[in-house]
Amino acid sequence: MEIIIQPDAAQSARLVAAFIARAMRRKPDLVLGLATGSTPVPLYRELIRRHREDGLDFSRVTAFNLDEYLGIGPDHPGSYRRFMQVQLFDHINLSPGHTHLPDGLAPDVEAHCRHYEAQIRASGGIDIQVLGIGSDGHIGFNEPSSSLASRTRTKTLTSRTRRDNARFFENPADVPVECITMGIGTIMESRICLLLAAGERKAEAVAGALEGPITAMNPASALQLHPDTRVFLDEAAAGKLKMRAYYDEVFARDVFWNKLRQEDGRTL
């Protein structure tokens, strides 16, 4: 894993956006895996800015989101579909037919989950998967105890996750109890994973995921087995890492990132 610690989340967002923009230049029909929550919002702003100012072209890109609440429709203000429309899709030239989220109102949920997996496969697989991390270590909505080999399916949310996500709903009691999420096995098949975390609230989950044992009790720890995961942290989220000095040294010496800075022509 490559662990990149930046002074703040805005700097991380700029780096990750430059990484994605480079990948899109090389492969215009890139398949992007996207995440919801507060963490990727600065990244989405940066992608929108690049689309507007630099003409970053999403017209051939396909997007698959990690998860959706079960029992609410796309127009519900708390739905992840709505979130993605407002935070990203409405502001870039990604074709609506190329955006995919699980359907929280699917009549046959199991068949829908199988279909979602088939759609990912048919697209050629996810090239770059953007991930946040829950305060309990979840990725997507794979709560602790999720099988590390799981596929897209329904999950029951923990009360901690429902509390964490209550801010997106008018009333905390409105947060759905169940969801549909890509499995950890699904996420692990992405060619590249970009895990973003910011804030002290994430420090413990991050330290467990990166430096702890691989365990279903911290689902993000499965990424230790992924061949190309890059982790972007702000100072607070990196606060509990033991090998911090080493990660900084590796990043400073990294030829790829130094070259990207030059290619991108911006101060990253």
Residues of the shown chain interacting with ligand GLP in the complex, contacts defined by CB under 6 A: 35-39, 66-67, 132-134, 140-141, 161, 165
Nearest approach, Cβ of 101 to ligand GLP (angstroms)? 11
Nearest approach, Cβ of 37 to ligand GLP (angstroms)? 3
Nearer to ligand GLP by Cβ, of 46 and 264: the residue is 46
With CB atoms as reference, the residue minimizing the distance to ligand GLP is 132
Helix %, strand %, coil % for the chain, to 5? 45, 15, 40
Nearest approach, Cβ of 264 to ligand GLP (angstroms)? 25
Nearest approach, Cβ of 39 to ligand GLP (angstroms)? 3
Nearer to ligand GLP by Cβ, of 37 and 102: the residue is 37
How far apart CA 216 and CA 40 sit, in angstroms, is 24
Nearer to ligand GLP by Cβ, of 58 and 69: the residue is 69
Catalytic residues: 67, 136, 138, 143
How far apart CA 129 and CA 230 sit, in angstroms, is 10
How far apart CA 185 and CA 152 sit, in angstroms, is 9
Nearer to ligand GLP by Cβ, of 66 and 241: the residue is 66
| 71-78: long-range pairs with CB below 8 Å, 24+ | 71/104, 71/105, 71/176, 71/178, 72/104, 72/105, 72/176, 73/104, 73/105, 74/101, 74/103, 74/104, 76/104, 77/169, 77/170, 78/168, 78/169, 78/174, 78/175
